[in-house]
Chains A and B, each alone.
Chain A
Amino acid sequence: MEALGRAGIFLFQSAVGVPSREGWRLWLHQMHFVGVLSLAIVLVSGLFIGMVLALQGYTILVDFGAEQALGQMVALSLLRELAPVVAALLFAGRAGSALTAEIGLMKATEQLTSMEMIGVDPLRRVVAPRLWAGFVSLPILTVGFSVVGIWGGYLVGVEWLGVFEGSYWSNMQANVAFVSDIGNGMIKSVVFALVVTWIAVFQGYDLVPTSEGISRATTRTVVYSSLAVLGLDFVLTAIMFGGL
């Protein structure tokens, strides 16, 4: 409970504040590290998940003679669930753990303390750019995941298994709504971005500054963010699609 309170104050202090020109540059640097360098793993996973969805979906749908619904199934499951969740999990593993370790090592080598000594606020200089980079990049990564996944589904479904191309796209277009499917998926991914980056950065900032402390904090980042993402996903899905 105490940690939660500390985390809340921490989030507020670092996320609020007018970014200076210098802060903008730092943010850009973090966007490169957190976003651009995560692109490869997210896109490759998206491709394979889309392909597997199409393959599995086809074998089930073909029993009912409804393989035309493949595009709709691939698109909806990606947009509503898989893209936000899997991208967030990958993001926690790829970028979150790195953020924790980086900030933790800064703390252990007393870089953060020395920043305070020379009058630089480490929350604004170190934490805020990372936090904002995470908020912005995860939704973009999620979009990339969906697009590549749908393309992967197209490759397997249409090119390989021979579902009629027109019905793949037109069924998708007839059944995917922009606001309620894509919009809700994006809301999910923004929420996950907040949670994952917050956990990662806070774990780094709050750890015991020893080598053991860093390793524990990194583990905690991945475990906590995965649990938070999966738990929140259920809650959000229940609110958005469950008619609650």
Chain B
Amino acid sequence: MKRSKTMEFGVGLFMVAGILGLVFLGLRVSGLTLSAPAQSFQLEANFANIGGLKPRARVTMAGVTVGRVESIELDTQWYDARVVLSLNSELEGELSRDSIASILTAGLLGEQYIGLSVGGDPEMLEDGDTIRDTQSALVLEELIQQFVSNMTSN
């Protein structure tokens, strides 16, 4: 009987360890957060060129991650990229209407992310608004092309 009890305990421990492992994978490895997705609000921004920006990319402000890219699609009216950003709800109504969204690159070859910087307009952006002021991604080929054409014109 005693052996059976320790065995039962072992199996129980085994299964609990399995569930804990899955929780670890969820929280630590895939970065799921327990906070409900309702605690965010969405802004839109149109970019002439998004370079290599991908959904789930970081949105930062002064280097601090404040949200992520929700979706990217082609705006067929203007033929530019419409990016939907999902930001922490604590920023709702705190960003001025002339805030700038620019696509930046982490390191020389790193992944691309969006950096927000605040403007001075007293009116604030609300859920679903569009950021007017945007800076497209730096495309290396275009830079080189400009550089070469400057060199030749000199």
The answer to whether A and B interact is yes
Q: Which residues of A contact B (CB under 8 A)?
A: 28-29, 31-32, 35-36, 39, 64-66, 68, 75, 79, 136-137, 139-141, 143-144, 146-147, 150, 169, 172-174, 176-178, 181-182, 186
A28 close to B11 (CB less than 8 A):
yes
Q: Does B79 contact A (CB under 8 A)?
A: no
Identify which of B24-32, B41-49, B114-122, B133-141 touches chain A.
B24-32
Interface pair B25/A173, CB less than 8 Å apart? no
A169 proximity list for chain B (CB < 8 A): 28
Other contacts beyond A32-B7, A79-B25, A178-B32: 19, CB < 8 A: A28-B8, A31-B11, A36-B10, A36-B13, A65-B109, A136-B15, A140-B15, A140-B18, A144-B21, A146-B29, A150-B29, A173-B29, A174-B58, A176-B29, A178-B26, A178-B30, A182-B22, A182-B25, A182-B29
Residue of B nearest to A74 (CB): B29
In the complex, residue of chain A having the shortest beta-carbon distance to the beta carbon of B33? A173
Q: Given the complex, which residues of B lie within 8 Å of A39, measured CB to CB?
A: 14
Q: List 16 A-B contacts (CB under 8 A).
A: A29-B7, A31-B11, A32-B10, A39-B14, A64-B109, A65-B108, A66-B109, A68-B110, A79-B29, A144-B18, A144-B21, A146-B21, A147-B25, A173-B28, A182-B26, A182-B30
Can you name the residue of chain B whose Cβ is closest to the Cβ of A139?
A: B18
User: Could you list which residues of chain B lie within 8 angstroms of chain A, going by C-beta atoms?
Assistant: 7-8, 10-11, 13-15, 17-18, 21-22, 24-26, 28-32, 56, 58, 108-111
**Distance (Å) between the CB of A141 and the closest chain B CB?**
8
Q: Which of the residues A36, A75, A173 comes within 8 Å of B14, measured between beta carbons?
A: A36
The secondary structure that dominates the A interface is: helix
Residues of B within 8 A of A144 (CB): 17-18, 21
Are B30 and A173 in contact (CB-based, < 8 A)?
A: yes
Is there an interface contact between A176 and B31, defined as CB atoms closer than 8 Å? Answer: yes
Q: Which residues of B contact A181 (CB under 8 A)?
A: 30
B18 touches A143 (CB 8 A): yes
- Chain A residues with Cβ below 8 Å from B108 are 65
Among B18, B109, B110, B111, residue most surrounded by chain A Cβ atoms (within 10 Å):
B18
Hey, which chain B residues are within 8 Å of A31, CB to CB? Answer: 11, 14-15
Please name all residues of chain A whose beta carbon is closer than 8 Å to the beta carbon of B24 when the two chains form the complex: 147
Q: Which of A35, A36, A66, A146 has a CB less than 8 Å from the CB of B25?
A: A146
* A192 CB, min distance to chain B CBs, angstroms: 15
Closest to A144 in B: B21
Distance to closest chain B CB from A237 (angstroms): 19
Bound Cα distance from A172 to B17, whole angstroms: 22
Chain B residues near A177: list those with CB within 8 A.
30, 56
Which residue of B is nearest A31, CB measured? Answer: B11
Cα distance, A174 to B24, chains bound together (Å): 15
On chain B, the residues within 8 Å of A29 by CB distance are 7
Name the residue in A147, A176, A177, A181 with the highest tally of chain B Cβ atoms < 10 Å from its Cβ.
A147
Residues from chain B with Cβ under 8 Å of A64 in the complex: 109
**How distant is the Cα of A230 from the Cα of B37 in the complex, in angstroms?**
38
Q: Are A32 and B29 within 8 A (Cβ)?
A: no
Closest A residue to B11 by beta carbon equals A31
Bound together, the chains give a CA A182 to CA B17 distance in angstroms of 17
Whole-angstrom CA separation of A141 from B58 in the bound complex? 33
Distance A36 CA – B7 CA, assembled complex (angstroms): 9
A172 touches B29 (CB 8 A): yes
A113→B9 CA distance, assembly (Å): 33
Residues of A within 8 A of B10 (CB): 32, 36
**A93 to chain B: closest CB distance in Å?**
19
Residues of chain A with a CB closer than 8 A to B11's CB: 28, 31-32, 35-36
CB distance from B14 to the nearest CB of A (A): 5
Out of B8, B21, B31, name the residue touching A173 (CB < 8 Å).
B31
